[in-house]
Amino acid sequence: MYIERLVLRHFRNYKETTLAFAPGGAYISGANGSGKTNILESIYYLANHASFRTTRREELQTWNVSQSAVYALVTQRETGRQSELAIHLTPNGRRLFLNGKETRDLRRFTSEIAAVAFHPGTMNVIKGGPAGRRYLVDRGIFSLQPEFGQTSQHFQRALKQRNALLRRNKASSHASSLATWTEHFIETSVQLMLDRQAHVERLNRALETLVEALGNDVGLVSLQYQPAIFAKCNSSDEVLAAWEDEKRLRERCLMESERLQQAEEAMGQTLFGPQRDDFTIRFRGRESRGYASQGEQRLAAFLLVAALAIEIRQQRGHHPVILLDDVISELDARNRQVIFDFLKAHAFQVLITDVEARPQVHNLSSLTSLHVKQVGGWADVQGGVDLDSTPHDL
């Protein structure tokens, strides 16, 4: 799939802007703070219902407006079928529209569009903290199975309620409520962990195929899931057995709950569960955090994103949009070439942001060239495909 037209209305520093893209994508230049990243963020939000920059929805809206919106005209490359998608953002939430009609069917909506992003935060995912790695994995799961969003919401609600009860005094009146929410927390934790483990296994298969296609000199990248509930487990056989039997996984969670009960009551927070999980990213068989160079770490992070893109294409039947935000200039020539070789080998639409307008330098002259600057506090975009060449109005 590819995006033919994008309309931003009161989205960050865009008052009302219509953009048209070629099927191959666009090279978007502009000074830092001009608003070029906001274009990529709007596409990512439309596809994933989350920003790769903030968890605060109000930050996406222009200050002091009642409603913001992102619209896209999407064409399925394989069939030529077109669809119109929109998200309206208000202080009270968001509303989804598919082909002009409001919908609550998240799976149907997300089946029409997909996007993956490689940005400065992704480049730092290896040397950064566990939260960044959990986010990368969980957003990848959502890209493949939108119902994971509901699983995650149920888990977060159970965690919040359990923490609130732990922060209260130890009065017996709270004991039954805590037991109920502990049970619910364990159930949602098990589902979340199973989804994460399945995703890691899928991604590792895709990584192996991807690296083989790019050439052995690239180096194999792999991902290893490290659930916090197994931190005190010395038996690998016990860990393997737990993955094969949900009952054992629940029992392990319950054991951790009992082991940490006094510490949780003293600290007023949940000390076991998926919110404390981590992932190890290996490069050429060694833990990349300690042994890989900065360039190798960045390449490994990109390959994780590329493998997700391939997995989306295989499972969902269409190509996601690849969003590369201010990363080209941060990569050495060899790693840039690996990325460009990947893009040339697959029919992905790619949108790249850069401070300088230099698509020719990277042999990307086939991409639409756009330049973003600020005029009176609003983003102004110059260049792009002739809007008259796109057949539908949004």
Residues that constitute the known binding site: 30-37
> How many other C-beta atoms are found inside a 10 Å radius of the C-beta of residue 181?
22
As annotated, the binding site for ATP includes 30-37
Joined together, the tokens standing for residue 309 give 């893109």
Do 277 and 253 touch, CB atoms closer than 8 A? no
Distance of CA 269 to CAs 179, 231, 256, 261, 324, Å? 14, 18, 14, 10, 38
Contacts 24+ apart (CB under 8 A), 84-90: 84/392, 84/394, 85/46, 85/109, 85/112, 85/113, 86/394, 87/45, 87/46, 87/49, 89/11, 89/57, 89/60, 89/61, 90/66
Identity (one letter) of the amino acid at 283?
F
In terms of C-beta density within 10 A (0-12 exposed, 13-18 middle, 19 or more buried), how is residue 33 classed?
Answer: exposed
8 A C-beta contact, residue 3 and residue 72: yes
